[in-house]
Amino acid sequence: MAVERTQDPYVQRDAIKISVFMNVFNVHSNRSPIDGLVKRVQYFPGKFVNADLAKASLENERNAIWIKRADGQDVTSVQVAGLIARRILCYVQEGSVLTRGQRYGFIRFGSRVDVYLPLTAAVKVSIGDKVCATTTILAVLAKG
């Protein structure tokens, strides 16, 4: 639902943000976008406005996971609750090691995930694309 250059508010850097909206009929299992070490997990209480609105990224209840690749590149994956979603589950903590595609959390009902990538990432999706966990490549990171 969004592919844009923006500020990553969790790691304080310029980034490319890819937002994926999941409606009430989608599966809301969240998976790691990369192999890496979880540097920080931050939970933010918030509102429950419709997750397909841009303001949901910073106003809704959310849980941000900062992951660092072995080559030093940072990716932030943010679970964002929606209008109906009232519970974010996160199964990892700081210091956990994730592999790409590994399940790290779940969001109950309509929600979204925002992924903040380095500016050097080559985006492989467009607004309106339907994506599927573990099979759709959102972007490719350059070798760091």
Place of tokens 């070490």: 37
Residues labelled as active-site residues: 111
Cβ atoms of 111 and 57 closer than 8 Å? no
What are the residues facing 36 on neighbouring strands? 98
Distance CA 50, CA 1 (A): 13
Distances 26 to 22, 39, 50, 110 between C-alpha atoms, Å: 6, 29, 15, 8
Cβ atoms of 63 and 77 closer than 8 Å? no
